[in-house]
Amino acid sequence: MEKLHLIKREIKNVTEWTRWVVGDVDNKLWNEIPATIGTNIHWIMGHIVWDKYFHGIVSIFEPEKSFFEKTNILTYQRFYEKGTLPENVLSHKADVNQLSKTLGLVDEEIHKGLSELSDSCLEEATLVHNPIGNTKYDALMWCIKHQMWHIGQIAMIRRILS
């Protein structure tokens, strides 16, 4: 199987799993921070959106202008990048529906960008410095693994809160 085909499939799968794991969580519970976990679903989802934007788009290709017209993705950095606190997202006005919509837009942009790449492009250096790896392949694989890690956290939060 070609690497690019595998990456596309796994990005699609991890997005479906994310939507499934949060699908039946009451919106009111998204801001609850269980003491044993120290984070909440709202922060995790915003963090996934920001991480996919950085590792799956910015590191790989230039996003289309229309992408920025559809979303305020750049405001996500302040609230959701590594090192930010879940308590701080309460002041961010992205609600559950907005987070889900933005995740969908990021995934669409990733799939559009990947459709223009070839397997050989995956070994090229990332377009911006990427702390996870030097190649586009490294950045895309991190996107998948990182999102899976956070799906596990969401599943634990779901269990604690239900």
Q: What are the average pLDDT values for consecutive 10-residue runs of the chain, which has 162 residues?
A: 91 95 91 91 94 96 91 88 82 79 95 94 95 95 97 95 88
Tell me, what's the pLDDT at 95?
81
Instruction: State the pTM of this model.
Output: 0.93
Tell me, what's the pLDDT at 139?
97
Burial 115-153 (b: 16+ CB within 10 A, else e): eebeeeebeeebeeebebbebbbbbbbbbbebbeebbeb
> How far is residue 151's CA from residue 123's CA, in Å, rounded to a whole number?
28
Domain 3-16+41-161 sits in CATH 1.20.120: yes
Residue 79 near residue 30 (C-beta atoms within 8 A)? no
Burial 4-30 (b: 16+ CB within 10 A, else e): beebbebbeebbeebeebbeebeeebb
Find the DSSP H helices in the chain. 3-23, 41-53, 65-70, 76-80, 96-114, 136-161
Tell me, what's the pLDDT at 1?
62
